[in-house]
Amino acid sequence: GQRVSLVRTNVAAMFRALLAATLGLAGLSHANSVALRHAQQHAPEEQLFTVALRASTGHAYVPVSHRNVRPSQRHVSLLERSAAFSHQQSRQASLQTALYRMRAQAQRVHALQYFGEVTIGSPPQTFTVIFDTGSGHLMVPSVKCDSAACAKHKRFQANQSSTAIPISWADEPLTRAEDDTDRDTMVVNFATGDAVGQYMRDKVCLGGLSGKFCAMADFVEMTEESDDPFKDAQWDGIVGLGQAVSDAADFNIFGVLSTNSTPSMKMPVFAVYLGRDIDGEAEITFGGVRKERMASALTWMPVYEEGYWQFQISDVLINGKSTNMCKKYGQRQCQGVLDTGSSLVMGPENDVALILKELSFERDTQISCTKDQKFPNLGFVIAGKTFEMEADDYMDRSQDGHDANMQSCWAHLMPVRDTGRGPIFVLGMPFLRAFYTAYDVKNKKIGVALASHKASTVHSKDVVVEPLVALRPGMDDSAGKPAAAVDNKRKVAEAKKEGH
């Protein structure tokens, strides 16, 4: 019996749970409202762990698709396997493909990254990683990788871990591989490159060297990496936090830790906080939420379709006035997804074109504007409440190359072609910087609150905070002139020293 190769789309899962509460990294996850806050106040120290996130601008970095290939079947395409899907699975695959395409487009246009740490193995090996609510696997370079891109990063050394177990098949995540040449291979496509990996199982801890939550879980060790985007990346790998996007439950890192971690995680919730600016604080919290990061109570909404953190949007407002654009989609209304791996707010072409026009961007996402020109607020009605972004949340200004009273203004919105399956708005980093988001993996809920961007000076035994370094590498500015790198490393070092 030759094993049948499986193409894992997990779209239903990705769209069910993708950003049910958020972005995702730009607000990776956030917890329930009153009950969660009460639990945080009275929880023992190990129940809540916060990982500081480093932010940087650079090349595209999150996965835009993946597939599994077995030794006997090295070329498998989604189209070739689509006949094997049920009608519902085929529909979910279309949604996944559409989201992947949107993420890739955003990463090419406006790349921005936040990253922190995770440890793998016994003793622990520390990796710098992207936390991505739009994908489903933990992926790190392998010591078996001899690509130039891998050589510049920390690589997982299975022979240095007493708890490492090689895994043969994606659909048998507990089966030890007896033959290294007869194993599933995962091919991962990024917006600007590719990677190939094999499956492993080992002790995984969220929170770096001081990781609070640890459990045996499956992950992917990358055995090949293309130069772009990996070679010059300031991170080693990716932690996928999609609720049901993984090849199997054992690959869902947060799902595994929320039920089987040592010490026990009392609340199956993660939350994402992003600072307004590159030099601001940013973090992801595991096991609960931090009320000091919220300027309002959390509003909770159910995941509309499992897979991604997906939810309903009943209306889009411009300066509080309804656009009525969601009515034409019937009971399904508009659909939103929280995605920490998307650097823009994206949506169906016609809808976003209308929004841009109402925001004074008539023909393009970049216009010439006066220094004192005012722009409308952009609001999304979710679970009966309006979440309104001010102009500074969804756009940037620059005076480079202009006279004293003129500027360039550009909106961080991107129109994309409709999926044909209904409207999908991907609420990426602009939304996640304005709002604190929480993700409840057990109850399949997403929480959103207005973010508080005051500096956090709270010392709490219930909260462990690892400040995240934010970095914008040196690059050309909007006028084509070299601009120096900007980061908050000194601020982070001071915060760690003071124990914030």
How far is Cα 199 from Cα 173, in angstroms, rounded to an integer?
8
Strands of 101-149 (E only): list them: 113-120, 125-132, 138-141
Q: Which of 236, 339, 440, 462 is catalytic?
A: 339
Two structure tokens written together for 83 = 């006949």
- Quickly tell me which residue has 């770096």 as its tokens: 208
Two structure tokens written together for 99 = 């989201």
To the query of whether residue 218 is one of the catalytic residues in this protein, the response is no
Alpha carbon separation from 382 to 47, 255, 314 (Å, rounded): 29, 25, 6
**Strand pairing category for 138-141 and 213-225:** parallel
Q: Which of 132, 247, 279, 462 is catalytic?
A: 132
To the query of whether residue 477 is one of the catalytic residues in this protein, the response is no
Phi, psi dihedrals of residue 16, rounded to the nearest 5°: -75, -45
- Adjacency order of strands within the sheet including 445-450: 299-302, 445-450, 435-440, 269-274, 282-286, 49-52, 464-466
Long-range Cβ pairs for the range 174-179 (8 Å, 24+): 174/201, 174/250
- Quickly tell me which residue has 């934010």 as its tokens: 470
Q: Cα-atom radius of gyration of the chain, to the nearest Å?
A: 22
Beta-carbon contacts of 209 under 8 Å, excluding residues fewer than 6 positions away, are 117, 119, 124, 126
Beta-carbon contacts of 361 under 8 Å, excluding residues fewer than 6 positions away, are 367, 411, 413
Q: What is the amino acid identity at position 162?
A: S
Please report, in angstroms and rounded to a whole number, the separation of the first and last CA atoms in the chain. Answer: 58
Alpha carbon separation from 88 to 33, 238, 269, 368, 369 (Å, rounded): 33, 29, 28, 46, 47
- Adjacency order of strands within the sheet including 321-322: 321-322, 315-318, 378-382, 385-389
Catalytic annotation, residues: 132, 339
